[in-house]
Structure 1
Amino acid sequence: MAAESGRDADLPSVRGVYSISVAAELSGFGIAALRLYEEYGLITPLRTGGGTRRYSDHDLARLERVAELIDSGVNLVGIGRVLDLEHRTGELERDNRRLAADNAQLRAEQTPATETDPDATHLGADPDQPASPASETTRTNHPRRQAGQRPRRRESSPQARATGERGHH
């Protein structure tokens, strides 16, 4: 039981403990339906060394979701796709939470460096803001085009004009 202490209490157990007859009774499905759902890959009960199916709390929760989808009019192939997408979505949500936590930690580690080292401000700079005063003057030295105005062509050298090449600056 000590191994389960780190697990989320809301997650159903994946340990197969129920026989097919008990799983049928608990889920409300018949034994033949459970075998069919296994064929379609909707559930995958564990097997004992002798090949006996053992259903877990996780399998029963999945069967409950199968029942909801059947009640909604979804066929077995569609149910398989829905369950797969729900599983993949859950994985992506967990990955996003982990990445958000990693980003927050990196930002927290970066903040003290920018407060003590003025040269380190570029590390956390806002991409919409200029990186340095030099870039601001560069930005303002270029005239802006008016709406609908075409960009000017770059002048090429007399030699390039003679050969028909355009200048690539």
Structure 2
Amino acid sequence: MDEDTPMFAIAIAAELAGMHPQTLRQYDRLGLVSPTRTAGQSRRYSMRNVVQLREIARLSGEGLNLEGIRRILELENDVTELRRRVRELETALADELLSKPGRRVFAAGSEGEVISLKAGTRAQKSNQVVVWRPFRRG
């Protein structure tokens, strides 16, 4: 089970959030917190839902109206989903890079050009010395 697993009936979720069950129904109708539904259409709240309900109570206590709270929760949910997607893409990229044989490595040449190297090889070092003398006006 994780924080998104629907497990609490409305009475338990209301108690955990410190609210009346009717308030939870109203928030569901307004789209503030949308629990999953069972086959019999009963609401089932997850721990994430309970945390959101507590956040609604806190923001409401600070004077925000329900529309402002709805927007904040929407943005927080978007951020959570985007973070999940980034982790998913990072994993896919790492898997792809590790599974591809013949990866290419690049280095900068002495003249600033790009040199392609095979994986596991190093660029050859140059032992040249460059002397710089500033231009003097006479």
TM-score of the pair, normalised by structure 1 = 0.51
Distance 1:124-1:76 versus aligned 2 partners, 3 A rule: farther
1:125 aligns with 2:127: no
1:78 aligns with 2:68: yes
3-state SS in 2 of match to 1:113: coil
1:65 aligns with 2:55: yes
* Aligned residue identity for 1:130: E
Q: Distance in 2 between matches of 1:23 and 1:94?
A: 25
Consecutive unaligned residues in structure 1, runs of 5 or more: 5-10, 115-122, 133-169
Q: Distance in 2 between matches of 1:54 and 1:95?
A: 25
1:11-47 superposed Cα distances (whole Å, 9 cap, x missing partner): 32532432x3333222111233212211211112334
Q: Please report how far the alpha carbon of residue 68 of structure 1 lies from its aligned counterpart in structure 2 after TM superposition.
A: 2.6
1:44 aligns with 2:27: no
Q: How many residues align?
A: 113
> Looking at CA atoms only, which structure, 1 or 2, has the larger radius of gyration?
1
Distance 1:54-1:90 versus aligned 2 partners, 3 A rule: closer
Report which stretch shifted further, 56-65 or 35-44. Answer: 56-65
1:34 aligns with 2:34: no
Residue among 65, 73, 91 paired with 1:101: 91
Consecutive unaligned residues in structure 2, runs of 5 or more: 116-138
Calculate the aligned-residue CA RMSD, in Å.
Answer: 3.1
Larger strand proportion of the pair? 2
Q: Please report how far the alpha carbon of residue 88 of structure 1 lies from its aligned counterpart in structure 2 after TM superposition.
A: 1.3
1:17 aligns with 2:8: yes
Identity percentage over the alignment? 34
1:59-91 superposed Cα distances (whole Å, 9 cap, x missing partner): 222212222322333221121111111111112
Larger helix proportion of the pair? 1
TM-score of the pair, normalised by structure 2 = 0.60
Preserved contact between residue 14 and residue 59 of structure 1 (Cα < 8 Å): no
Preserved contact between residue 17 and residue 55 of structure 1 (Cα < 8 Å): yes
